[in-house]
A and B are shown apart, each in its own frame.
Chain A
Amino acid sequence: MSVIPREEWDKYPDIEITLNVNGKDYKVKVKPYERLLDVLRYKLGFTGVKEGCGRGECGACVVLMDGKLVPSCLVLAVRANGSKVLTVEGLAPEGKLHAIQKALLDTYAVQCGFCFPGVILAIKALLDRNPNPTDEEIKDALSGQLCRCGSYLRFIKAVKLAAQYIREGKEYFDESGARG
């Protein structure tokens, strides 16, 4: 493999982009080859977005970009210019838990937690378009979210419970009430 000289890369100047992350606007300078994942994590500090493979295979880095579930490792930051991004940090207001988060706690699904930010956003994307999914629909929606600790069966239960909470109008819960 031949090396592209650094000088070649440096011909391309940084580009300023605008991102709305979790409801707040940010202006940030990025390299043309920079990934949305790195900008979110290291330039803006949203480390709730995790990197598990860098190839769009594990689902740990997914975010909602203009309402669509995308692996942020496969999105160039410049491509996200002007878009609205939701990460796990923005799912519920300070001190609150979203129904999805509450349901995952209620089903005791948490183990290492590394896949959770992605799992939570994938569930959000599912429930936004389908408020009452079947087991098969849940499995399809989460088929790109790898969990090696093996909480999958609890995810299925949690999605149903979250859907029920939302149908009952209970979208947010107090964070303090959920502690052990």
Chain B
Amino acid sequence: MSELPEYVRIVEEIFDKYKDKEFLYVGKRIQRWDAVEKIKGRVLFTADFAKYYRNAVFVYSVRTKYAHAKIKSIDISEAQRYPGVLRVITAKDIPGVNDVGYVIPDQPLLVSDKARYIGDIVALIVAEDPNVAKEAGELIKVDYEKLPVITDPLQVIDLRTLKEKEHPLIHEERGSDVVAHFKIRKGDVRKAFDEADVVVEGEYSTPFQEHAYMEPEAAIALPEADGGVTIIATTQCPFDVRKAVAKVLGVTQNKVRVIVPAVGGGFGGKEDVANELGAKAALAALMTGRPAVVIHSREESMIGHSKRHPMKAWYRHAAKRDGTLLGVEANIVFDTGAYASLGPFVAWRATVHATGPYRVEAARVDTLSVYTNNVYAGAFRGFGCPQVTFAIESQMDALAEELGMDPVDLRLKNILREGDRTVHGQLLTRDHGVGLEEAILKAVETSRWYEKRKLFSKQVGTLRKGIGIALLWHGNSIGVEGADYSSATLIINRDGSITFRVGLIDMGQGSQWGMVLIASEILGVPPSYFRVEQPDTAATPDSGPTVASRSTVMGGAAVVNAAYKLRQRLNKVASTLLGCDPDDVEIKAPDVYCRSNPEKKVSWSDVVEQSFWLGIPLQEFGYFRAPPAEWDEETGQGAPYITYTFGAIIAEVTVDLETGGVKVDRMVTAYDIGKVINRVGAELHAEGGAIQGLGYALMEEVVHNKDAYVMNANLSTYYIPTIHDVPDEIIPIFVEAKYRRGPFGAKGLGEPSINGIAPAIVNAVSHATGLRFHSIPLTPEKIYMALKKAGKTLF
């Protein structure tokens, strides 16, 4: 075996050391550091800072009138003359590169020759009064030549043949509107289907989903003396914003500073749009020499930032009479809208997960991501997994029905267990932590599955109950999407207080708190000693983007490294004061003593002070990098992720046969997330993911009309769950199959908490109604029409 890097060995050493230990902070319910300030209304979010700038200017974005059009000319003269307007900015004023594309440089900040979707920006108006800026926007005259609009990805691609159709190109500069194509080729698929006793086939579709974080996007830029700029922004990725803004301004990255205050929800949506906002504010600040404020309205937010990719998929499963899966075939098309955003990565993650957490010996999967003139699609909690999980878990239930098997029994027959290989050929060892079976069994027991499944099958009358299950898995962190590193800084100050810095942001999920708990546990110092400093590219280290459920696993591993090194030094200093062996030193701040002789003790502040006089540094930088992922582009074989989170969701619903309305009564969510670090955060994720997934299952869909205008760009027409829609009970269960290279064995939960919700609910509706459904959101209309068609309505 090759030599492991020191940062991996440290994480493993800590894992082994703490495996059977009682934890003081990790896994306990501890109030997060900012809870009191948030509850008092004192915490500042980005837009709140505008109150401090008395000479600020405001930036309004003038967006295209048509979703797909050539732009022949832009006349700004009248807007420029409007009283109160300081500056009008168009593409030709951009000093650097006019691009904010995330994965592919395909997305201009300001369009000049072509508009590709309804959110494209043709000009920015800068004025002292936001109302003036908006009024002047009406005076921008653009000469458009309308082009045919594409709103359906199947106008670009044939779902069965996967061939690109004749169509007007949206990105003619690329010569094709297929952005990405990922594949899995495994085993003899033809043989599997030839030999199968049973084959089930289905076409599935999922909608555009809007993040609808409560805080709309905002950025404030302050010009700096050296031509640089400081940006306060609501973003998940401060270092990506810095990179994007530097590129637009044509300056080096060290001239751009990005500070992230409290963030009001992100869910993936505040990844790339923040590049656009940061760049808009920075341009205005540098051109006027004044603080520049950009705050998106809710409508702008809804048409102007990425969405969850809609999916159209065709699936075919082959099985033996006893339920053993023989093969899976899938054609999957993702609509990435007008720009790639994170589309290629989303399609890749969907491909990796496209056969579910099952042993599959033969598989052919093709996933294509294509351009349309819809709002661009990018990252959204789950990142391609909720879409394919809906299809797979619907297929599994269809297969169970075909075989006359219980859906749980069919799944238990095929799930991945320790020692199995994934469809990519990745061997799942004890070190990965594979707790899927335990999660299923616990969810089944807690929900009283078998009893209810039988009971609900015998109902009569208008209100019918149903119970459904879905399984999920989720590769941790970013896999082959990029360099997967993180870092953290811990500084023990002279008074014994601790400064905590990590470049991963807290958008509400509380992951920074999880990392503090990790540091607390290793150092032996209570969390109250810590102050979390908000991410600031001028102070916090680059920890990579806050995405892919990687904060606890990757950021936490960096914190383990920093805390481990500090602890070793502290033990040495304490041993000189106490006269016992460094390994014998116990720190339980404010006390430090010898384990062999607890009577002999000094104080935490004594040890810190002594370190200062001895010249022992008490600042430490922790770094961690995930082992490189492996992926063969042609076959999809390799080891795509460091490890996987697993889960089993059981939903109970009541369906009203008269109206098609669904009430979700109860959900049991059992997740194998390895060691639970931040218990409160984990529970909140399980609940929050379930509620967001309920919206995805039953009500949420961004609707474009044939001209690709968004028809429901506000919160009274785009429905998200309210307090009336939530289940009576969401029961989170955690199974701890530990990942040896995660901090104390932790795996991620942020994203997986939405993956299995929609199929569990839809399968429960199927159980209640006796009908199968192939598209979400499963609205009352869809259910009612299906019941009517099947002659099951009462009227």
Closest residue of B by beta carbon distance from A135: B728
| Shortest distance between the CB of A151 and any CB in chain B (Å) | 7
- Indicate if the CB atoms of A146 and B715 lie closer than 8 Å: yes
Query: Chain A contact residues: over half helix, strand or loop, or mixed?
Result: loop
A-binding segment of B36-44, B429-437, B489-497, B583-591: B36-44
Give every chain A residue within 8 A of B723 (Cβ-Cβ). 138-139, 142-143, 145, 147, 152, 155-156
Closest residue of A by beta carbon distance from B50: A42
- Interface presence of B87 (CB below 8 A): no
B-binding segment of A12-20, A108-116, A163-171: A108-116
- Indicate if the CB atoms of B32 and A180 lie closer than 8 Å: yes
Task: Report which of B48, B82, B507, B692 forms a contact with A41, defined as CB distance below 8 A.
Answer: B48
CA distance A150 to B215 in the complex (A): 14
Q: A53-B715, A149-B508, A150-B692 are in contact. Are A97 and B264 (CB under 8 A)?
A: no
- Interface presence of B187 (CB below 8 A): no
Give every chain A residue within 8 A of B21 (Cβ-Cβ). none
- Indicate if the CB atoms of A108 and B31 lie closer than 8 Å: yes
CA distance A57 to B302 in the complex (A): 14
| Shortest distance between the CB of B717 and any CB in chain A (Å) | 9
**Residue among B33, B42, B684, B730 with the most chain A CB within 10 A?**
B684
What mask results when residues 5 to 38 of chain A are scored 1 for a CB within 8 Å of chain B, else 0? 0110100000000000000000000000100000
Give every chain A residue within 8 A of B267 (Cβ-Cβ). 148
What mask results when residues 46 to 90 of chain A are scored 1 for a CB within 8 Å of chain B, else 0? 011111111101101000000000000000000000000001110
- Indicate if the CB atoms of B41 and A89 lie closer than 8 Å: yes
A-binding segment of B206-214, B446-454, B554-562, B649-657: B206-214
Task: Report which of B30, B32, B41, B84 forms a contact with A6, defined as CB distance below 8 A.
Answer: B84
CA distance A152 to B267 in the complex (A): 17
Closest residue of B by beta carbon distance from A60: B214
| Shortest distance between the CB of A82 and any CB in chain B (Å) | 24
Q: Interface size of B by Cβ–Cβ distance < 8 Å?
A: 68
| Shortest distance between the CB of B235 and any CB in chain A (Å) | 14
- Indicate if the CB atoms of B722 and A146 lie closer than 8 Å: yes
- Indicate if the CB atoms of A146 and B720 lie closer than 8 Å: yes
| Shortest distance between the CB of B33 and any CB in chain A (Å) | 6
- Indicate if the CB atoms of B715 and A57 lie closer than 8 Å: yes
Give every chain A residue within 8 A of B298 (Cβ-Cβ). 52-55, 57-58
| Shortest distance between the CB of A163 and any CB in chain B (Å) | 16
- Indicate if the CB atoms of A97 and B31 lie closer than 8 Å: no
Query: Chain B contact residues: over half helix, strand or loop, or mixed?
Result: loop
- Indicate if the CB atoms of A179 and B36 lie closer than 8 Å: yes
- Indicate if the CB atoms of A116 and B39 lie closer than 8 Å: yes
- Interface presence of B132 (CB below 8 A): yes
- Indicate if the CB atoms of A48 and B42 lie closer than 8 Å: yes
- Indicate if the CB atoms of B51 and A152 lie closer than 8 Å: no
Instruction: Classify chain A: how many residues form its interface, as a range.
Output: 35 or more
- Interface presence of B166 (CB below 8 A): no
| Shortest distance between the CB of B742 and any CB in chain A (Å) | 23
- Interface presence of A127 (CB below 8 A): no
- Indicate if the CB atoms of B507 and A112 lie closer than 8 Å: yes
- Interface presence of B27 (CB below 8 A): no
Give every chain A residue within 8 A of B684 (Cβ-Cβ). 108, 111, 149-151
- Interface presence of B138 (CB below 8 A): yes
| Shortest distance between the CB of B59 and any CB in chain A (Å) | 16
- Indicate if the CB atoms of A148 and B31 lie closer than 8 Å: no
- Interface presence of B175 (CB below 8 A): no
CA distance A180 to B687 in the complex (A): 22
CA distance A179 to B513 in the complex (A): 13
- Indicate if the CB atoms of B39 and A120 lie closer than 8 Å: yes
**Residue among A49, A51, A52, A114 with the most chain B CB within 10 A?**
A114
Closest residue of B by beta carbon distance from A96: B40
Closest residue of A by beta carbon distance from B212: A148
Give every chain A residue within 8 A of B33 (Cβ-Cβ). 180
- Indicate if the CB atoms of A150 and B39 lie closer than 8 Å: no
| Shortest distance between the CB of A55 and any CB in chain B (Å) | 6
What mask results when residues 688 to 731 of chain B are scored 1 for a CB within 8 Å of chain A, else 0? 11111000000000000000000000111000111110100110
- Indicate if the CB atoms of B726 and A153 lie closer than 8 Å: yes
Task: Report which of B29, B83, B215, B730 forms a contact with A52, defined as CB distance below 8 A.
Answer: B215
Q: A108-B684, A111-B684, A148-B692 are in contact. Are A50 and B45 (CB under 8 A)?
A: yes
CA distance A108 to B682 in the complex (A): 12
CA distance A149 to B507 in the complex (A): 10
Closest residue of B by beta carbon distance from A176: B36
- Interface presence of B373 (CB below 8 A): no
- Interface presence of B47 (CB below 8 A): yes
Q: Which residues of chain A from 94 to 149 have a CB within 8 Å of any chain B CB?
A: 97, 101, 104-105, 108, 110-117, 120, 138-139, 142-149
Give every chain A residue within 8 A of B231 (Cβ-Cβ). none
What mask results when residues 256 to 291 of chain B are scored 1 for a CB within 8 Å of chain A, else 0? 000000111101000000000000000000000000
| Shortest distance between the CB of A48 and any CB in chain B (Å) | 3
CA distance A143 to B722 in the complex (A): 6
What mask results when residues 47 to 59 of chain B are scored 1 for a CB within 8 Å of chain A, else 0? 1101100000000
Task: Report which of A1, A3, A112, A145 forms a contact with B264, defined as CB distance below 8 A.
Answer: A112
- Indicate if the CB atoms of A105 and B39 lie closer than 8 Å: yes
- Indicate if the CB atoms of A179 and B39 lie closer than 8 Å: no
Closest residue of B by beta carbon distance from A53: B298
Give every chain A residue within 8 A of B715 (Cβ-Cβ). 52-53, 55, 57-58, 146
- Indicate if the CB atoms of A6 and B214 lie closer than 8 Å: no
CA distance A83 to B100 in the complex (A): 47
| Shortest distance between the CB of B139 and any CB in chain A (Å) | 7
CA distance A41 to B295 in the complex (A): 14
- Indicate if the CB atoms of A180 and B714 lie closer than 8 Å: no
Give every chain A residue within 8 A of B213 (Cβ-Cβ). 112, 114, 148
CA distance A114 to B688 in the complex (A): 15
CA distance A88 to B41 in the complex (A): 6
Give every chain B residue within 8 A of A110 (Cβ-Cβ). 32, 34-35, 38-39
CA distance A120 to B510 in the complex (A): 20
- Indicate if the CB atoms of A97 and B714 lie closer than 8 Å: no
- Indicate if the CB atoms of B31 and A178 lie closer than 8 Å: yes
Give every chain A residue within 8 A of B91 (Cβ-Cβ). none
- Indicate if the CB atoms of B688 and A151 lie closer than 8 Å: yes
- Interface presence of B756 (CB below 8 A): no
- Indicate if the CB atoms of A114 and B297 lie closer than 8 Å: no
- Indicate if the CB atoms of A179 and B31 lie closer than 8 Å: yes
- Indicate if the CB atoms of A150 and B688 lie closer than 8 Å: yes
- Indicate if the CB atoms of B214 and A143 lie closer than 8 Å: no
CA distance A48 to B687 in the complex (A): 26
- A-B contacts, 6 listed (Cβ < 8 Å): A53-B298, A58-B715, A110-B38, A139-B724, A150-B721, A150-B726
Known: A42-B51, A112-B265. 11 other contacts (CB 8 A): A47-B44, A49-B41, A52-B215, A55-B716, A92-B40, A120-B39, A148-B212, A150-B689, A152-B722, A153-B726, A180-B528
Q: Which residues of B contact A (CB under 8 A)?
A: 29-36, 38-45, 47-48, 50-51, 82-84, 131-132, 135, 138-139, 211-216, 262-265, 267, 295, 297-298, 507-510, 527-528, 680, 683-684, 687-692, 714-716, 720-724, 726, 729-730
Q: Which residues of A contact B (CB under 8 A)?
A: 1-4, 6-7, 9, 33, 41-42, 45, 47-55, 57-58, 60, 87-89, 92, 97, 101, 104-105, 108, 110-117, 120, 138-139, 142-156, 175, 178-180
